[in-house]
Structure 1
Amino acid sequence: MEKTEDKPLNIAMFPWLAMGHLIPFFHLSKILAQKGHKISYISTPKNLERIPKIPPELSHNFKLVPLPFPEVESLPPDAESSMDIPYQKSQFLRIAFDLLQSSLIDFLTTTKLDWIIFDYPSHWLPSIASKFNISTAYFSLFTAATQAFLGPPSQLLNCNLTRSTAEDFCRVPEWVPFESDVVYRLHEVTKYTEGAVGNESGVSDTARFLASIEHCDLVLFRTCLEFEPEWFDLVCKLYQKPVIPIGFLPPSLENDDFEENENWDMIKNWLDEQRVNSVVFVALGSEAILSQVELSELALGLELSGLPFLFVVRKSIIESAQLPDGFLERVKGRGIVNVGWVPQVRILSHSSIGGFLTHCGWNSAIEGLTFGRVLILFPVMNDQGLNVRLLSGKKLGVEIPRNEVDGSFTSDSVAESIKLAMVNEEGESTRANVREIKGVFGDKNRNDRYIDDCVNLLMKIKRP
């Protein structure tokens, strides 16, 4: 990537305390540093240890800024990320995050910045930054469709637009002017409304989103116009301020900071033995919670599919639920169950992977489509249901059927969805669509142009 000829920008990055936010913010930071801009990446000590190492050639442009993690009584010791706590305690993590304000102010007092690029939970940041004459950009790690579904910032002032029941989230909003099926299922929205309507932190997630948008100078989206043009046009109209697509920040093996270990050696050797496009990779993110019934039905569905599989299970899931009796013996040689972390990008890039059974967090969806892997869609929480409707509507994956009220599903539906996505003749059009969209998600030059356009705008509209 070429460095910009203008005077470099001084940019602070301030992501939310979750790996799905820390990593994309780091990725963008690295790209901007490669272009010659000065980056201050701000987070808490434990989270700074979790992100990839800064490449030595960028160390002069890229520094890590640790802020002491505040003590909050309801959080376990050393819990600094959403992956360290159960979902039910996420609002206490937001309390701790809000308490970082004073440490952040101390940093801003001693640092000259042009921009702060921030995440939705720090809705209070624009007012602080303005006192230091620093411009602010809200960086949305969500699709334009998801953010448009939340609505215009005017929702904060108009009580008539505020959704207060689960059913409210299962209808197309009145501000969406075109036909759409991007809505929640009833079982998906229960957790969302628990977080969005009244909570321990005193500020709902919806209010954080909308206040961040209302008070920032511009909004950045991890998307591109070619993928969701109608939704991008809508957010531009809803927000009434500069809205900039920055591309997908697609993963790249050449920039991968992964260090090989024995676990990867075993997985890679097994993948090398499988046929091209034959393996289904199952990974549900760093925060997913599965009940005993859900884990059993997923596992039995993989067994019934008859296809080779790599099933990644979080340690916290396997501590509270068990795989079906005899499952590991019955699938020995055809399937691998890995408990704990794996190099997801490396796995998805392997030629033997044909399908990706995913919770459909936007990070994972981007990674899967970048490498042309057909998606088997199994949303678990947060924005994932909306992502599934968007991607399913574009025929880029197959959604596992579930009961709309309680979210239950069967091993048969899992097996049939996997086979439809990966091998059945009826699924060929979906596989063809994925092969075609790979040219959008994985196009390095296209994504670079989006970043360059963004940087040019940041230089143009920063505060004097």
Structure 2
Amino acid sequence: MDNSSKLHVTMLPWLAMGHLIPFLELSKYLAREGHRISFISTPRNIRRLSNFSSNLSPLITLIELPLPHVHGLPENAESSMDIPANKSQYLKIAFDGLEGPIAAILEGSTPDWIIYDYASHWLPSIAARLGVPCAFYGLFTAAMLAFLGPPSVSLGGEATWSTAEDLTVSPSWVPFPSNIVFRLHEVKHSLPENISGVSDSYRFGIALRDCEIVAVRSRVEFEPEWFDLLTQFWQKPVIPIGFLPPVEDEVNSTEWVELRAWLDKRRTESVVYVALGTEARLSQEQVNELALGLELSGLPFFWVLRELPGSTKDGRNMGMLPDGFEDRTRNRGLVYKGWAPQFRILGHSAIGGILTHCGWNSVIEALRLGRALILLPVMNDQGLNARLLEEKKIGLEIPRDERDGSFTRDSVADSVRLVMVEKEGESLRSKAKEAREMFGNRDENERCLDGFVRFLEEHKRKRG
């Protein structure tokens, strides 16, 4: 293929590491195919990505745009990991302030395609004015995108979800039996107060309506009925790009040697890895019950307890862990502070399962290796992901109070033991191992990506 057929693609992800990293992985794949990438984000996020991966192609240009100052947004906050959840709308206001600078960049470069995220509802109109086609990159399950509803719902033309309880039942537009709904305690996280002037539902609606193609980070084999529903709703190509299983993350070698030494002392598939992502916040009571539940389970654990967004203190010196917990569990548990090399940890033979917040990135990383899933969703789409995984019988959700989301140490211990070691959990462990062929098969996943790239290339050829 000659160079004239190669693409220039502009990438614009939302300001969250769970979005930035998959956009970067897609960028690296396109660059390996010879396509040129302009990747736009803020200075601090660009530095984070550079630290995350030094293996960047010369075909990828990282473009820094400073966020405008917004009253209410903490200084130097450029990502959702920098702020508590109740500040997320301020970050969206700042992100919307990039509309003008991004328009100027696009006017000066005129790419062949723009691949964008849900938050930039203003981008398609800029692209249309410049005659540049757009692809929406959905970093969510097809089930979650379909749950948002057809255009008449997501764009606000049809009244729905007038109460929190409305979100706890299967929507009327889902024509088949489904348990993929929110719990009442999740609704307050999924529907934050809208002070940006634009609801998340509307952002999704515009992003889906005004693109030429919807790319979904999933596979039809995993959720066929939901892909069918999405295509019916939007009447345009909905292309699965596969799970985009991550490449090995880079990490300080000394740090990894120490962590690996701890894991090397454990039996194969005996350790439960506990990781609740970069943004999920548990209350003090929930942290206590989680800790005491891990202790009560009697099983080895590796717990990544990160600094809370908006806090200057980490989980240890805030006194979040119960008194004496680390001393009592020292011989079989490790509480690790900071950014952990999750890819390598999950890949160690000692890890048997993961207690996860159900972020789609973490689920993909775990299932690509066939790790059993203990589900503790906290915010955003995580509750819907948990229901989907339970429906597929490849995960078990820790029982919680439907209204306030509380759980007990006993429910944690019972869930961990059932998924990790008990006879009743054999089918879950087996299903997770079976999922490895779908989630972790790089050749099959790259075939999906190849189909997506062919669509982009063919569209350019037809446009001349």
Query: TM-score band, normalised by the shorter chain?
Result: over 0.9
Q: Distance in 1 between matches of 2:51 and 2:98?
A: 24
Partner of 1:214: 209
For the Cα contact (< 8 Å) 2:154–2:204, is it kept in 1? Answer: no
Q: Give the secondary structure class of the aligned counterpart of 1:51.
A: helix
Structure 2 Cα separation of the partners of residues 369 and 157 of structure 1: 34
| Secondary structure, aligned partner of 1:30 | helix
Q: Which moved more, 1:6-15 or 1:53-62?
A: 53-62
SS, match of residue 211 in structure 1: helix
Gaps spanning 5+ residues in structure 1: where? Answer: none
Which of these residues, 319, 326, 329, is aligned with residue 328 of structure 1? 326
- The 3 A distance-change label for structure 1 pair 321 and 137 is farther
In the alignment, which residue of structure 2 is the partner of 1:46? Answer: 44
- Aligned to 2:5, what secondary structure does the other structure show? coil
The percentage of aligned residue pairs carrying the same residue is 55
- Partner of residue 388, structure 2: 390
Q: 1:301 aligns with which of 290, 293, 313?
A: 293
* Residue of structure 1 aligned with 2:181, choices 169, 177, 183: 183
Are the equivalent residues in 2 in contact too, given 1:9–1:459 (CA < 8 A)? yes
Taking the aligned partners of 1:174 and 1:444, their CA distance within structure 2 comes to 37
**Paired residue for 2:407?**
409
Within the candidate set 79, 99, 102, 1:101 is matched to 99
Q: Which amino acid aligns with 1:104?
A: I
Out of 407, 432, 435, the residue aligned to residue 434 of structure 1 is 432
1:292 Cα deviation (Å)? 0.8
Q: Which residue of structure 2 aligns with residue 238 of structure 1?
A: 233
Distance in 1 (alpha carbons) for counterparts of 2:155 and 2:427: 45
Quick one: distance in 2 between partners of 1:388 and 1:192? 14
Q: Report deviation, 1:156.
A: 4.7
**Maintained 8 Å contact 1:291/1:321:** no
Corresponding residue of 2:255? 263
Distance 1:163 1:408, change over 3 A: same
Q: 8 Å contact 2:155–2:201 — kept in the other structure?
A: no
Instruction: Write the deviation string for residues 362-390 of structure 1: whole angstroms up to 9, x where unpaired.
Output: 00000010011000000000000000000
Pick one of 297, 311, 318 that aligns with 2:303. 311
Measured in 1, the distance between the counterparts of 2:2 and 2:339 equals: 37
- Write the deviation string for residues 83-135 of structure 1: whole angstroms up to 9, x where unpaired: 11111010000000000011101111211300000000001101101111111
Q: In the aligned structure 2, how far is the partner of 1:245 from the partner of 1:5?
A: 27
Q: If the length of structure 2 is used for normalisation, what is the TM-score?
A: 0.95
TM-fit CA distance, 1:57: 7.7
Task: Tell me how far 1:320 sits from its aligned partner.
Answer: 5.0
Which residue in the other structure is 2:374 paired with?
Answer: 376
Residue 351 to residue 362, structure 1, CA distance change in 2 (3 Å)? same
For 2:129, the aligned partner's letter is: K
Q: Which of 108, 113, 116 pairs up with 1:115?
A: 113
- C-alpha contact (below 8 Å) 1:68/1:103 kept by paired residues: no
Give the residue type in structure 2 aligned to 1:249: L
Q: Please list every run of at least 4 consecutive aligned residues from structure 1 whose deviation after the TM superposition is greater than 6 angstroms.
A: 3-6, 54-57
What is the deviation of 1:216? Answer: 1.2
Any idea what SS the aligned residue of 1:419 has? helix
Using the alignment, how far apart are the partners of 2:2 and 2:405 within structure 1? 50
Query: Which of these residues, 203, 227, 243, is aligned with residue 248 of structure 1?
Result: 243
Residue pairs, 1:421-460, within 5 angstroms: 421-460=419-458
2:415 is matched by which residue type in structure 1? S
Shift of 1:423: 0.4
Partner of 1:344: 342
Greater Cα offset, 233-242 or 382-391: 233-242
CA contact (8 A) 1:169 1:189 kept: yes
Cα distance in 2 for residues equivalent to 1:87 and 1:400: 22
The 8 Å contact of residues 279 and 308 in structure 1, kept in 2 or not, is answered as: yes
In 2 relative to 1, CA 261–72 (structure 1 residues): closer, same or farther, beyond 3 Å? farther
Shift of 1:192: 1.4
Q: Deviations along 1:176-209, whole A, 9 cap, x unmatched?
A: 11110000111111221225xxx11100111101
**Out of 196, 200, 203, which is 2:195 matched to?**
200
Aligned pairs (5 A) from 1:11-22: 11-22=9-20
Deviates more, 1:155-164 or 1:136-145: 155-164
Alignment of 1:285-296 (within 5 A): 285-296=277-288
Residues 1:65 and 1:149: Cα distance change in structure 2 (over 3 Å): same
1:390-426 deviation per Cα after TM superposition (whole angstroms, max 9, x unaligned): 0011111111000111111100100000011010001
164, 176, 190: which one aligns with 1:166: 164
Distance 1:4 1:381, change over 3 A: farther
Post-superposition offset of 1:54: 9.1
Judging changes above 3 Å, is the alpha-carbon distance between structure 1 residues 176 and 259 closer, same or farther for their aligned structure 2 residues?
Answer: same
AA matched with 1:337: V
Task: Show the 5 A alignment for 1:83-102.
Answer: 83-102=81-100
Q: Go from structure 1 to structure 2 and tell me whether the alpha carbon gap of 1:84 and 1:133 turns closer, same or farther (over 3 Å shift).
A: same
What residue number does 2:7 align with? 9
1:49-79 CA-to-partner distances (Å, cap 9, x unmatched) read 0114697885331110111221112111111
Q: Residues 180 and 384 of structure 2 are in contact (CA less than 8 Å); yes or no, is this contact kept in structure 1?
A: yes
What is the rounded CA distance, in whole Å, between the counterparts of 2:441 and 2:182 in structure 1? 31
Normalised to the residue count of structure 1, the TM-score between the two structures is 0.95
